Amino acid sequence: MTRIRKAIFPVAGLGTRFLPATKAMPKEMLPVVDRPLIQHVVDEARQAGIEHFIFVTGRSKAVIEDHFDRQFELEATLVERKKQADLDLLSQDLPEPGTTSFTRQQSPLGLGHAVWCARELVGHEPFALLLPDVLVQHPRGCLAQMIDAAANLDAKANIIAVEEVPMDRVHMYGVVGVGETKGKAFSITKMVEKPKAADAPSNLSITGRYILQPEIFDVLEKQAAGAGGEIQLTDAMVALAKTQPFYGLKFDGRSFDCGSKIGFLTANVSYGLERPDLAPELRAELKRMLAEK
C-alpha cells in the first residue's frame, strides 16, 4: 500500500451529549487529564507517521485551529516567568508550518459528508480517518498498528479497526463479518450497521479508525442519505466493498468512547493512572472515595 501521509479529523459535531459544557467549547477540546481530546488523537496520528493533518470543522470551532497555532502572548508571559518546561511542552505539540489544513462542513449532514468535504485536501491517495471522540490507549497507538498491517495487504486495501463487544451490545455499533486471515488482519465479508444480536455476523465492532482509498470520495459524492437523514460512511464503505477489499484489524490496547460521559470519565481515570506524576495520588484518592461510597 502507498504510504499514508494524510489524516482527516472530523470535528464539526455539536457535542450535545456534553451540554452545557459544550455550549461554547467544542467537545474535542474537553481535556483528558491535561490534553484536549483532539490533541490525544493528533498525537496518535503523528506517532504513526502522518504528515498532513486535515480538520473538518463547523461553526464555533475556531478554538481548535487556535489550539494548533502559536499563542504569542502566552509564550511571552512564560518567557518572562522563566517557565521553560511549559514552553518546551507547547513547542513539541505545535505542528510544523504547512502541515495543518482546515475546511468547513457547513451543514451537519453526517460523517460521510464530513469526509467528503476533505476530498480536495486529500487528493488521489489513501488516507487515514480518526474520530476524535475515540481514544485508544496503547504505547504503539492504533493507527500505527493499522499501517503496519497494511504493508502486507493489497495496494487497494481499505482497513478498519475493530474490537470485541458483548453480544448484547452489538445493536449499538457497526459490526463486521470475518473472513480469511491475512497477517494480523482479516478480510471483511460484510458490514452491518447496528444489527440485532441474532442477525450480527460477529461481535467485532467498528472503532473510529480507518484507512481508506480515495475512491470513497466518488462513492460519497453520489451517496443517498441514510439513517437519520445523514450521509453515512458505513453505507459508502459497503458500496466500495463491491470493488475493493476491506480488512479488519483487532488492535492491541483499550478504546474509550469519549462521546459518552462514562467513556470520557473512564478515559480520564485510565490516562491519569498511566502518568507517573499523578498515578500514586490518584490511586489513593480513588480508593478513599470508593471506600466512602
Question: Within this chain, do residues 142 and 156 fall inside the same structural domain, yes or no?
Answer: yes
pLDDT in tens, 1-35: 678 999 999 998 878 888 898 888 899 999 999 99
- Asked if residue 96 belongs to a domain, the reply is yes
Nearest to 208 by CA among 44, 16, 33, 95: 44
Q: Quick one: 235 and 271 in the same domain? A: no
Cis (ω within 30 of 0) for the bond into 20? yes
Please tell me whether residues 194 and 283 are part of one structural domain.
Answer: no
188 & 276 share domain = no
Tell me whether residue 49 is in a domain: yes
Q: Do 31 and 61 share a domain, yes or no?
A: yes
Residue 57 lies in a domain: yes
- Reply yes or no: is the peptide bond before residue 126 cis, omega within 30 of 0: no
For residues 88 and 232, membership in a common domain is answered with yes
**181 domain residue, yes or no:** yes
In a domain, 1, yes or no: no
Domain that holds residue 151: 6-259
| One domain, residues 65 and 25 | yes
Q: In the structure grid, which three cell numbers stand for residue 77, read together? A: 508571559
Tens-digit pLDDT profile for the chain (293 aa)?
Answer: 678 999 999 998 878 888 898 888 899 999 999 999 999 999 999 999 999 999 999 887 889 999 999 888 998 999 989 999 988 888 888 899 899 999 999 887 889 999 999 999 999 999 999 999 999 999 999 999 999 999 888 888 999 999 999 998 888 888 999 999 988 899 999 998 888 888 899 999 999 999 999 999 999 998 877 767 788 899 999 999 999 999 999 999 999 999 999 999 999 999 999 999 999 999 999 999 999 87
Q: What's the CATH code of the domain at 121?
A: 3.90.550.10
Domain tally, the chain: 2
Residue 139 in any domain: the answer is: yes
Q: What is the pTM of this model?
A: 0.93
Over residues 34-45, the pLDDT tens digits come to 999 999 999 999
Is 91 in the same domain as 129? Answer: yes
Same domain? For 83 and 198 the reply is: yes
- Are the C-beta atoms of 149 and 69 separated by less than 8 Å? no
